[in-house]
């Protein structure tokens, strides 16, 4: 039998007397050892640090088998971790912890506390991974993706990781109208959703109590008038677009400034009307400041729109995600990138296409839950030396090609997930601007503007019909553009030509809509000048047809470019749609569609099996009043000849599905207008914008078969 004699007498003495003869009294379950009171859990006067059975009294410390565990513990119970504490009383059975430290008094030793998951709310997710650890959130739902679960988020639909709640009413500032005064000290709060959102606000700088910022270095523009300050926090890298509606009221000039700091002022970008920047996560500011001209502040009303779009790397593994899942329709997306900066070069070809696309690419993805009209377009012209091609895929792995084009794809899609890849042809990298449009194929509810377009043709015919065609004239009469002034008639009074006729019909339909609904916002969507001039930022230039500079084959392309309409197949047109025709004779025409024409000369609102053309309204024919000008005709596709029994006709019209020879589309109800790339351009004033279009008197000669 082996004994371990620990000199119990010494221990007992030491427990009573220090080395200098002073007496030290230790608390219960402690013993004085090596100059201090030490734990003695079993009260056998042997400190736990030396006790081979610290939880069972064994003064003699007998250890017959010499395994370090006293006989008093051996055989009575197991000690799995060999720390001298029996499993039955060990607060950390499998990890040695002879001191049994338990800082939080939860019955679990500290060493095990670090390993055993805690789930306070009992929702099945450990606290360390729980986005709402104190309130059950079984699905870990986090609608705004701010890291705070919906069950405990004071603003579950708008990102606010800080959970700021100024008035302590349980509703986060980000989704509550908390009173702010728009000063540097108390800016207006713009909520940001990490999945993207749009914010709008209207104010008058004359009412502002803030006039603290007079300039924004390095800009030297005098902004010493009153300002309003907005603040927003980005939870992730995002593209921010902020714009003021144009044109501004007479005598008003409010400029927009994007800042990373207001104290001190740290300018990121400024503009008269619109700024666009891709920003890292963090807090930023917008200052809507009043420009001062000749000492006079040009204060007044402004309408601010700010949109937030999440930024992705655009790689195969991290594609740019468009909209929600599925995309909320209608959807218009604009993105500018440079393939030279892409970190992705995974796809070199798109079988069965054999072109060399081995340069770097950017990848986009979207999901639709219903049939849609889709358009993806790289805006022309591309920079010198750059050649970026557009690819539509139904799968990224393996690569499954749906369609490819040099710069534009327009087609119908069924429900599903798709990918758009912008790839560099033969490594010809460079910058591009991509415009993607998704619209519902089956027009629900009050989606289209067709009824007002048809009413406009009737009104124009009754008031200005058949007053003569003139290829050098635009508009039959002056047209008031809401509160923004007059778009004047030019050329011979009361006469006009075809592309101008379509423009006049759209403007008249807008006026009829305002008369009917009192909704004057249609005048704010595009500035008046956009309907008068011929630069790339003016819708008139796109209606006038320009393939080379802005890739517009007519009114359908123009309306899509500005977010007001969409290209749709001829068979899906409705009365009030827009059409640009081309003829086998080499001439063209711009018209408003009124119905499908069958072989018997009957007109139908929907497409049937026996359709040889369509009825339209435009300006054409002779300059002689009564025989030319704004009027009705019938277009006949070239496959059907020129039937003698159908009068007032336009023959030799090319039927095509390419949207090139037959450019067909619809205009949407104003509630479905969405700003697109050219819309932002149109709203930005200043700078020199040369004309890109002019009326082609040889191509649009106004001649039709019966003339």
Among the listed ranges 1-5, 589-593, 606-610, which one has the minimum average pLDDT value? 1-5
Which pLDDT score, from 0 to 100, does residue 84 have?
A: 75
More confident residue, 703 or 74: 703
For residue range 86-127, list pLDDT tens digits in order.
777 888 877 888 888 887 787 888 777 765 566 777 778 877
Tokens of 68: 């370090």
CA distances from 303 to 138, 211, 273, 524 (A): 42, 19, 10, 9
- Among residues 108, 289, 104, the alpha carbon closest in space to that of 211 is found at 289
Say if 180-310 and 325-440 have the same CATH topology.
yes
Residues β-bridged to residue 579: 591, 664
Q: What is the mean pLDDT of residues 64-87?
A: 72
The CA-based angle 606-608-610, given to 5 degrees, is 135
pTM given for the model: 0.69
For residue range 531-574, list pLDDT tens digits in order.
999 999 999 999 999 988 999 999 999 999 999 999 999 999 99
Tokens of 425: 């042809």
Domain chopping of the chain, boundaries: 180-310, 325-440, 450-682
Q: At 229, is the pLDDT very low, low, confident or very high (cuts 50, 70, 90)?
A: very high
Which pLDDT score, from 0 to 100, does residue 704 have?
A: 85
Which helix (H) or strand (E) segment holds residue 507: the answer is helix 498-517
Beta carbons within 8 Å of 158's beta carbon, 6+ residues apart: 144, 172, 174, 175, 191, 192, 193, 197
Top-level class of domain 180-310: mainly beta
Which pLDDT score, from 0 to 100, does residue 285 have?
A: 97
User: At residue 10, does pLDDT exceed 50?
Assistant: no
Q: How far is C-alpha 627 from the geometric centre of its chain's CA atoms?
A: 51
In angstroms, the CA 184 to CA 287 distance is 9
Q: Which CATH number fits domain 325-440: 3.40.30.10, 3.30.56.10, 2.40.160.20, 2.60.120.380?
A: 2.60.120.380
């Amino acid at each position: 039998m082996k004994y371990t004699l620990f000199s119990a007498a010494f221990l007992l003495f030491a427990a009573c007397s220090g080395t200098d003869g002073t007496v030290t009294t230790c608390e219960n379950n402690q013993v004085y050892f090596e100059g201090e009171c030490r734990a003695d859990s079993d009260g056998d006067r042997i400190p736990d640090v030396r006790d081979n059975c610290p939880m069972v009294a064994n003064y003699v410390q007998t250890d017959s088998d010499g395994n370090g565990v006293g006989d008093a513990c051996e055989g009575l119970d197991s000690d799995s971790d060999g720390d001298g504490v029996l499993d039955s009383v060990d607060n950390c059975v499998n990890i040695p912890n002879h001191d049994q430290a338990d800082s939080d008094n939860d019955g679990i030793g500290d060493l095990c506390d670090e390993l055993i998951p805690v789930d306070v709310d009992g929702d099945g997710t450990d606290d360390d991974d729980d986005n709402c650890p104190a309130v059950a959130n079984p699905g870990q739902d986090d609608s705004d993706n701010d890291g705070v679960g919906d069950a405990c988020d004071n603003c579950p639909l708008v990102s606010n990781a800080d959970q700021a709640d100024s008035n302590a009413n349980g509703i986060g500032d980000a989704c509550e109208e908390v009173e702010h005064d728009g000063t540097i000290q108390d800016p207006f709060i713009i909520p940001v959703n990490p999945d993207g959102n749009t914010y709008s606000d209207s104010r008058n700088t004359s009412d502002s109590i803030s006039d603290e910022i007079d300039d924004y270095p390095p800009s030297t523009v005098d902004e010493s008038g009153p300002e309003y300050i907005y603040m927003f926090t980005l939870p992730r890298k995002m593209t921010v677009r902020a714009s003021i509606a144009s044109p501004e009221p007479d005598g008003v000039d409010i400029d927009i400034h994007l800042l990373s700091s207001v104290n001190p002022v740290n300018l990121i970008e400024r503009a008269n009307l619109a700024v666009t920047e891709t920003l890292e996560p963090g807090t930023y500011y917008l200052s809507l400041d009043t420009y001062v001209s000749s000492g006079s502040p040009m204060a007044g009303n402004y309408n601010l729109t700010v949109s937030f779009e999440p930024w992705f790397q655009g790689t195969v593994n991290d594609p740019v995600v468009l909209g929600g899942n599925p995309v909320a329709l209608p959807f218009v997306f604009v993105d500018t990138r440079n393939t030279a900066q892409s970190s992705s070069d995974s796809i070199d070809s798109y079988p069965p296409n054999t072109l060399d696309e081995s340069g770097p690419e950017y990848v986009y993805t979207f999901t639709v839950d219903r049939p849609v009209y889709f358009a993806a377009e790289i805006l022309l012209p591309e920079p010198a030396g750059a050649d970026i091609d557009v690819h539509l895929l139904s799968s990224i792995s393996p690569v499954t090609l749906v369609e490819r084009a040099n710069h534009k794809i327009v087609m119908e899609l069924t429900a599903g997930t798709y990918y758009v890849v912008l790839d560099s042809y033969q490594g010809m990298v460079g910058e591009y601007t991509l415009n993607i449009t998704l619209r519902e194929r089956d027009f629900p509810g009050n989606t289209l503007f067709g009824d007002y377009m048809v009413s406009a043709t009737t009104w124009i015919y009754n008031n200005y019909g058949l007053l003569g065609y003139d290829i050098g004239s635009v508009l039959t009469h002056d047209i008031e553009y809401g509160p923004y002034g007059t778009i004047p008639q030019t050329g011979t009074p009361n006469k006009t030509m075809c592309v101008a006729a379509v423009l006049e019909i759209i403007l008249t339909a807008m006026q009829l809509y305002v008369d009917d609904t009192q909704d004057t916002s249609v005048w704010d969507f595009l500035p008046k000048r956009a309907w008068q001039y011929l630069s790339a930022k003016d819708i008139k230039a796109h209606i006038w047809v320009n393939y080379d500079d802005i890739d517009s084959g007519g009114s359908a392309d123009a309306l899509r470019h500005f977010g007001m309409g969409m290209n749709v197949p001829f068979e899906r047109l409705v009365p009030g749609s827009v059409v640009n025709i081309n003829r086998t004779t080499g001439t063209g025409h711009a018209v408003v569609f009124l119905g499908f024409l069958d072989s018997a000369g009957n007109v139908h609102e929907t497409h049937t099996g026996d359709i040889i053309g369509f009825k339209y309204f435009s300006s054409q024919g002779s300059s002689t009043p009564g025989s030319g000008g704004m009027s009705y005709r019938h277009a006949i596709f070239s496959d059907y000849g020129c039937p003698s029994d159908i009068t007032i006709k336009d023959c030799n019209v090319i039927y095509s599905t390419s949207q090139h020879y037959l450019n067909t589309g619809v205009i949407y109800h104003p509630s479905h207008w969405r700003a697109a790339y050219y819309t932002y351009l149109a709203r930005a004033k200043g700078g020199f914008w040369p004309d890109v279009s002019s009326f082609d008197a040889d191509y649009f000669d106004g001649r039709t078969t019966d003339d």
